[in-house]
């Protein structure tokens, strides 16, 4: 899809700090993270919402979500994670994406209010590398 920012990232036309690159999906750091290490997982096929996700992509998508939830704990030292996706309402990019956000007790996240932060110079590359290593390698 020509005007989809996630399709542009998948095509390599827009930069991203990639943490997982597999045949059916791609995961990269959110540019405006709730907390540093906040990852977005997207299917490579342009799919707008979860109900649109083809059955043959579903299990792999959620298996990758599980691995990312583990990686934010093992790679970043988080105590847990927040995993979420929006369908149409509050969906800022009309391409299915799953948020995997590292969590620590007392981090200040309450309900569905998502404060945003920014990476300092070089931090995004460092966080992406830590997550790739926790996922089993730094092959990118």
72 within domain boundaries:
yes
14 within domain boundaries:
yes
Q: Measured between alpha carbons, how far is 134 from 68 in angstroms, rounded to an integer?
A: 9
For every one of its 140 residues, what pLDDT tens digit does the chain have, with 9 covering 90 and above?
Answer: 779 999 999 999 999 999 999 999 999 999 999 999 999 999 999 999 999 999 999 999 999 999 999 999 999 999 999 999 999 988 889 999 999 999 999 888 776 666 678 888 899 999 999 999 998 876 55
Note the pTM of the prediction, 2 decimals. 0.84
What CATH number is associated with residue 102? 3.30.428.10
43 within domain boundaries:
yes
Q: Measured between alpha carbons, how far is 7 from 66 in angstroms, rounded to an integer?
A: 23
Residue of 25, 38, 95, 97 marked catalytic = 97
- Tell me, what's the pLDDT at 114? 62
> Catalytic residue at 97?
yes
140 within domain boundaries:
no
- Domain residues for the domain of 43 are 5-107+114-134
37 within domain boundaries:
yes
Domain count, the chain: 1
60 within domain boundaries:
yes
């Amino acid at each position: 899809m020509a005007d989809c920012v996630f399709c542009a990232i998948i095509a390599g036309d827009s930069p991203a700090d990639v943490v997982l690159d597999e045949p059916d999906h791609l995961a990269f750091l959110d540019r405006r993270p709730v907390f540093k290490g906040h990852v977005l997982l997207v299917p490579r096929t342009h799919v707008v919402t979860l109900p649109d996700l083809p059955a043959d992509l579903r299990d792999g998508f959620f298996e990758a979500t599980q691995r990312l939830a583990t990686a934010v704990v093992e790679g970043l030292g988080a105590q847990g994670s927040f995993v979420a996706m929006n369908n149409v309402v509050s969906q800022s990019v009309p391409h299915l994406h799953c948020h995997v956000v590292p969590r620590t007790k007392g981090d200040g996240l309450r309900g569905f209010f998502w404060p945003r932060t920014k990476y300092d110079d070089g931090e995004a590359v460092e966080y992406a590398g830590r997550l790739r290593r926790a996922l089993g390698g730094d092959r990118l």
